[in-house]
């Protein structure tokens, strides 16, 4: 039972206000968003910050829900994902993680590197270009959500890919939203 205390201690140290690990459905996504919104309300967060955090949370959760790869039970990989939001003195930190097929890692890595290489005006131009040209994947994504997260946060997106099996990697994404000074 010590693991419960250890987990509690880690959550407190990292100032995590909401953690969900498991399967993500539209219903669960709505519940997670609702809980996070209530948390920010109870903390008296400013409405413009709540709006940015909420927008990034929606994009993160949609990314997990809509774009997670169909997993193969025989591959010893679960489709469970994780969502965490933490509140620091000067920022909110939203972190997600989910399994993806290794064959998609290079493309996703390149897309995220491109987004991180752009300034505010570059992100705006890329956003407009994606909407105009509509280079959508079979699941409806074109990286627009990642661009929107970078635009709303005003920060670089942090990401990582950890090998799980020969066919799967675990994709982690961290978005930081300053509590002041970014419009």
Q: Where are the domains of the chain?
A: 2-178
DSSP secondary structure letters along 38-107:
HHHHHTT--HHHHHHHHHHHHHHHHHHHHHPPPP-GGGT----EEEEEEE-SSEEEEEEEEEEEGGGHHH
pLDDT tens-digit profile of 78-123? Answer: 678 899 999 988 999 999 999 888 999 999 999 999 999 999 999 9
pLDDT at 24 over 90: no
Three-state DSSP class for 111? helix
pLDDT tens-digit profile of 35-83? Answer: 988 888 888 888 899 999 999 999 999 888 776 666 555 555 567 889 9
pLDDT tens-digit profile of 122-180? Answer: 999 998 888 887 665 555 556 789 999 999 999 999 999 999 888 889 999 999 999 87
Please name the CATH architecture into which domain 2-178 falls.
Answer: 2-Layer Sandwich (3.30)
Q: What is the pTM of this model?
A: 0.87
Ramachandran angles phi, psi of 157, nearest 5°: -85, 130
Write down the pLDDT at residue 147. 94
Q: CA-CA distance, 119 to 143, in Å (whole number)?
A: 16
pLDDT at 181 over 60: no
Asked if 10 and 24 count as a contact pair (C-beta separation under 8 A), the reply is: no
Ramachandran angles phi, psi of 48, nearest 5°: -70, -35
Burial of 161 (0-12, 13-18, 19+ CB in 10 A): middle
Q: How confident is the model at residue 182 (pLDDT cuts 50, 70, 90)?
A: very low
């Amino acid at each position: 039972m010590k693991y419960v205390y250890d987990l509690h201690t880690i959550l407190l140290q990292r100032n995590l206000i909401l953690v969900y690990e498991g399967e993500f459905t539209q219903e669960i996504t709505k519940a997670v968003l609702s809980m996070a919104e209530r948390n920010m309300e109870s903390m008296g967060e400013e409405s413009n910050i709540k709006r940015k955090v909420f927008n990034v949370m929606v994009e993160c959760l949609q990314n997990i829900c809509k774009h997670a790869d169909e997993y193969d039970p025989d591959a010893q990989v679960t489709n469970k994902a994780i969502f965490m939001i933490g509140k620091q003195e000067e920022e909110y930190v939203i972190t997600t993680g989910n399994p993806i097929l290794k064959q998609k890692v290079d493309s996703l890595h390149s897309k995220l590197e491109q987004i991180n290489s752009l300034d505010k005006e570059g992100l705006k131009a890329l956003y407009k270009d994606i909407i105009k040209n509509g280079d959508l994947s079979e699941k409806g994504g074109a990286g627009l959500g990642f661009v929107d997260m970078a635009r709303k946060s005003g920060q670089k997106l942090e990401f990582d890919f950890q090998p799980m099996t020969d066919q799967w990697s675990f994709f982690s994404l961290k978005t930081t939203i300053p509590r002041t000074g970014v419009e």
